[in-house]
């Protein structure tokens, strides 16, 4: 948006909101006050400060009138004790984020991976090691690193997190965020955005929605 807000969402549970510095201490809610200090973000709508993230989260809950949206667990809520979470720190799962010689080592000095690792361990712990959640955690850190200008080596094979690509395309760990399309075949050369994990169209093909087609198909599509 032209007033300094950007929202990035991968349609799979990963959301990033960035706000200009001019809004420091001028916002509130689930994203905090935007002052760069995460320790003072837990303020309720009434202005009181709480220490528990659950209490903070519930204070901002609104009624969306959806009768299928449960306000609590349907049955016993899953729990994760610290000793249980530790098993997901080892064995090639969440530990990938902090390995000094791993695929993310080049990024660790710039972006602290500890909170990503903690979230990764907790999610796997309460979901019995669900591999999909591991992949989502690694994708989140990958995105943060590459938005900061760090180009990462391919990590998906190590974590067994394949990325499915449509026909006539291939996975690249650091591809253009502005792929060439029928409407603008030169857009990649003008792109100023950092690279992203993506499915890159093969040589001789252009992006058309989520597909990759040959330029000669442009007239057919139009």
* CATH 2.10.25.10 residue ranges for the chain: 169-221
pLDDT at 65: 74
- The answer to whether the pTM exceeds 0.75 is no
CATH class of 169-221: mainly beta
The pLDDT of 2-18, averaged and rounded, is: 82
More confident residue, 130 or 54: 130
pLDDT at 27: 92
In the predicted structure, residue 115 carries a pLDDT above the cut 80: yes
- Reported as a single tens digit per residue, the pLDDT across 142-201 is 999 998 989 888 888 888 888 889 999 999 988 888 898 888 888 888 888 888 888 999
Number of residues that make up the chain:
222
Which range is most confident: 11-25, 112-126, 146-160? 112-126
In the predicted structure, residue 13 carries a pLDDT above the cut 50: yes
Cα distance between residue 137 and residue 131, in whole Å: 10
Helices (H), the chain: 53-59, 82-86, 105-108, 114-126, 131-147, 156-159, 187-190, 218-221
The pLDDT of 32-45, averaged and rounded, is: 90
pLDDT at 23: 92
Cβ-defined contacts of 107-111 (< 8 Å, 24+)? 107/141, 107/145, 107/148, 107/150, 107/152, 110/145, 110/148, 110/150, 111/141, 111/144, 111/145, 111/148, 111/150
In the predicted structure, residue 222 carries a pLDDT above the cut 50: no
pLDDT at 159: 82
């Amino acid at each position: 948006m032209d007033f300094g807000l950007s929202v990035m969402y991968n349609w799979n549970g990963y959301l990033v909101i960035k706000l200009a510095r001019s809004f420091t201490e001028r916002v509130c809610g689930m994203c905090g006050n935007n002052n760069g200090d995460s320790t003072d973000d837990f303020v309720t709508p009434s202005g009181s400060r709480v220490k528990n993230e659950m209490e903070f989260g519930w204070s901002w809950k609104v009624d969306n009138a959806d009768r299928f949206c449960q306000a609590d667990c349907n049955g016993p809520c899953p729990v994760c004790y610290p000793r249980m979470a530790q098993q997901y720190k080892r064995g090639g799962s969440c530990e990938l984020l902090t390995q000094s010689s791993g695929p993310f080592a080049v990024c660790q000095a710039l972006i602290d991976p500890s909170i990503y690792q903690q979230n990764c361990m907790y999610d796997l712990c309460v979901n019995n090691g669900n591999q999909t959640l591991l992949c989502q955690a690694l994708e989140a850190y990958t995105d943060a690193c590459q938005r900061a200008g760090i180009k990462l080596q391919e990590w998906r094979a190590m974590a067994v997190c394949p990325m499915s690509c449509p026909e006539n395309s291939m996975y690249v760990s650091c591809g253009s965020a502005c792929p060439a399309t029928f409407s603008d075949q030169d857009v990649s050369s003008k792109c100023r955005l950092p690279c992203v994990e993506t499915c890159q169209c093969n040589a001789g093909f252009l992006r058309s929605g989520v597909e990759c087609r040959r330029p000669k198909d442009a007239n057919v599509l139009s």
